Amino acid sequence: MNPNRYHFARHERVDYLHAWDEQRRRVERIVTEGAPGLFWLLEHDPVYTVGRSGQRGEIRNEAIPVVESDRGGRVTYHGPGQTVGYVIRDLRPNIHAVRAHVFRLEEIVIRTLAGFGLLAEREAKNPGVWVNGEKIAALGVRIRQGVAYHGFAINRAPELSAFAGIVPCGLQGRGVTSLFRLGIEVERQELERRLRSAFQDIFEAEWMESS
């Protein structure tokens, strides 16, 4: 079983619950069949998701649906204009290499943003990616039977006012930004092309033809 084998998929819009279910199906296939990993780029309809460390009390806007997810982290928003990257990857036999996996997910975003001339940074205590002290990409993962899933969400041009309805990632007083707000207008397909290229380099991915 080659851990560097991946399928790549992209979809215009996928319901969060459906995407979550599909990720768990892929995890099961990796565990039972040795299926390739998956790098999946998509958008979601507007939804607030509550991670395992989050609380519903961190949500102030009741007009947007809420899903209690099994990913790590607290509360975040997904919606049109935001590119979500799900990375389903077998960590075995190094099933405790979660920090290294998170580092690589952040690196995908950091390298991609560098291509637009942006200096993006990590914060030691707060997973995700930041530009000028404001969050531009959220991150959360889950490990199940030695396989990592969930991933990152990068703000291309979402409706940033939706973040005002929550305490983003549990951080009071911290701003949220986007490529558009920073003066960078990029088509979704171009952003995805750059993310896929960064993923291939960082994970040394060998793309497999999808069935």
| Confidence band for 172, pLDDT divided at 50, 70 and 90 | low
As a whole number of angstroms, the distance between CA 109 and CA 100 comes to: 15
Catalytic residue, candidates 169, 176, 179, 205: 169
| Confidence band for 169, pLDDT divided at 50, 70 and 90 | low
CATH number of 5-207: 3.30.930.10
Q: Is 197 an active-site residue?
A: no
Q: Long-range contacts: 180-186, Cβ < 8 Å, 24+? A: 180/81, 180/156, 182/118, 182/131, 182/136, 184/116, 184/118, 185/157, 186/116, 186/156
The domains of the chain are located at 5-207
Single-letter amino acid, residue 113:
L
- pLDDT, position 95: 75
pLDDT in tens, 80-118: 999 999 999 999 988 779 999 999 999 999 999 999 999
